[in-house]
Amino acid sequence: MNNPTPKFSSLYFRDFNIKSAIQMIVGSVVFQGIAYLGFETFYLPIVMILLGLTFIGIAWLITRYNQIMTTFREGVTVKAKVTERERIVSRQEKGRTRRSYYAKITYTVGGETYSPRTRLPDDPLFLGIDDDNMIDIILLEEKPKTFFFKQVLLT
């Protein structure tokens, strides 16, 4: 199919897996660089652990990126209905708060109805996701449980 695909910058800011994989890669390399500058030597066990983390991060990034791009290139767009939204506020140290947003959506593929709860990258109002609102999701028909919010990743 000839669907548009998201930019890498959009994936970094809107997909938790992509962002976490990149942070794992960069964090491992930066930590090793700082350790070398501070001690002027490589400590083999730390190098091996960081090298392992770097390879895991690279594999995770490639797998997730390919999954998203394949879904956008070969997937179908399905209308889904947002049935409920949820905001979880957790208190952290020093009075800070952290907000996590979730949405439960309902969609039908191949005569079967799915109703998963999924985490959102930002406040649903900023993403244009309202209760009882129809939104476009994109998925592969052979893997209907794996979907992406089309409007979120393409903007």
What is the amino acid identity at position 16?
F
Q: Is the dihedral of CA 49, 51, 56, 61 positive or negative?
A: positive
Same domain assignment for residues 22 and 40: yes
Predicted TM-score (pTM) of the model is: 0.83
Tell me the CATH number at 81.
2.40.50
Indicate whether 116 belongs to any domain.
yes
What is the amino acid identity at position 125?
L
Indicate whether 20 belongs to any domain.
yes
Same domain assignment for residues 111 and 136: yes
Same domain assignment for residues 16 and 62: yes
Say if CB 104 and CB 117 are below 8 A apart.
yes
Query: How do residues 48-91 score in pLDDT, each as one tens digit?
Result: 888 999 999 999 999 999 999 999 999 999 999 988 888 888 88
Domain tally, the chain? 2
Quick check: 25 pLDDT over 90?
A: yes
Q: How far is CA 26 from CA 20, 33, 58, 116, in A?
A: 10, 10, 10, 32
Query: How do residues 79-126 score in pLDDT, each as one tens digit?
Result: 999 888 888 888 888 888 888 888 898 999 988 999 999 888 888 777
Domain that holds residue 22: 8-73
Quick check: 20 pLDDT over 90?
A: yes
Name 133's Cβ contacts closer than 8 Å, sequence gap at least 6: 81, 82
Same domain assignment for residues 133 and 146: yes
